[in-house]
Structure 1
Amino acid sequence: MNAWAPVDSPDDLAGALDRVGYLADEGVATAAFLALRMGKPLFCEGEPGTGKTSLAAALAAALDVQLIRLQCHEGIDASQALYDWDFPRQLLHLRALEAASGGQLDADAAEQSLYTRRFLLARPLLQALEQAPCVLLVDEVDRADDEFEAFLLEVLGENRVTVPELGEVKAEVPPLVVLTSNRTREVHDALKRRCLYHWLEHPDLTREVAILRRRLPGISERLATQVAAAVRRLREAELLKPPGVAETLDWAQALLALGRTELDAESAATTLGAVLKYREDAERVVAASLDQLLAG
């Protein structure tokens, strides 16, 4: 813990997160504190928009360390996550050596000069090992394939990698790793066993109102409560894309930009695109009556 900002309890961490604008409930603060104290990755699952990615950014800000993000996607491989060689620069370097040698290039010496640190492109995993202490966000790991999961498990388990041309790179202080998943597929048990696990729910009404008032200081408690309550009812509807906290903030900000002081059927209709991002969802809500949405 001596490499990190002093955090002695979940309450301390919750306070640090609060100071950077992230209102963590007891479960989130405890899970993040244990990940930090035990040196284990934190695996966060939940619906989109529940604050999983924001948690990693807030932890980096609260602990005053760098955030390094690895965005997973279908087909991602080790070279995209760990390191690659800068082939265009290597080629230019080789041509410069040939010109300087007058055609008498020493092939072995030239090859050795190509594979040095100056030509290495460090990707997020290698960056995290070299720059720790830091927060490493492995975002949407459920979008990667099984092979990448196995590779990731090995790197996170050892906190070291070997670059054949340069040798071993080991983190003296393991990075705080936050993995997120929207549960588009099940992540293998082997990876989950390596981590602490936490399921993130959408915030309750009181906390969502507090988030709105923290992030949008000009909003009244009445309007914040109306917006948060309406969003909660939208989440209970059968929508293609239920709104997350980001959409709640967008909706409230749109209303403020229009000078509205309360959420009524007219203002909801004109700003619905801030909270619902699919035409089918908007049509379903309008057909079910905006008055009913606001009166619930």
Structure 2
Amino acid sequence: GTGLTTAFANSSFEVLAGVGVFAALGFMAVQQSVAVDEVATSGIGLAFVAFPAIINEMAFGPIFGVLFFGSLTIAGFTSLFSLLEVVVSAVKDKLNLPRKTVAIGIGTFMALLSLGLFSTTSGLMALDIMDKFTNNIGIVAIALIAVVILDWILRRIDEFSLHINAVSSFKVGTLWRIFVVNVTTLVLGFTLAQELISLIQEPYGGYTTTQIAIYGWAVLALIGINALAFSLVPWRGNLPLNGPPGSDFGVDPEVHRELHAPRKYNGDHRVGVDKHTTEEGTIR
């Protein structure tokens, strides 16, 4: 239930924000007496060029400006936490290191890298290209690869659904598998293909081929190489996961059956298959 709440809350906010963006761009187009596509932009240009211009034209512009950029700052911090947690958890589990040590080490390294790269005169250009390629190509490609490997290669989507049912209050079944295996694969594949064709046919943002090759394609290749190299590093902790997870993705089938076996109630006393209780409902 918590995962669904998070997903729907996030998606709902994004849809609402999208409606607000189109309304703001339409307002700007009317103010300038031009077509919407002449003021429309995306990414960094939308946040730091188009929106400031729109806010400047609005009534109570300073108030809206503070609210907008305050919200943008909070969104940036929360996104940073979620992105950093993925890397920190992976390194912590693989190398058996303290979370604090890993978080400080990775955070310091990325901060120095960002200061050295994005604080230069070409920093905005590098950030724009890297943001475009990692979000529109990298994340979509990784999600597609994960789905293909999980079902089409390992054939373990059923075990994964058992794991979800064992640990989640929301149960999944045939409809979930159809969406994950078929719908998600088709949508991600189509999205990735369209984005690749668009980037190949026309250089993104009017940047040169060299700039796109260095900050776009080369960065994607470096991410892939680092991910592959890290997967080959042996586990150093108490997590003997040197291959695919075991049956039911870490949930013992016997435990799974016990969790979902029907329970009988006899007055105030529970009678059933729970091996942790007696007929009187007391703990053994």
* TM-score over 0.5 (shorter chain): no
Structure of greater relative contact order (alpha carbons < 8 Å, 6+ residues apart):
1
**Greater fraction of residues in helix:** 2
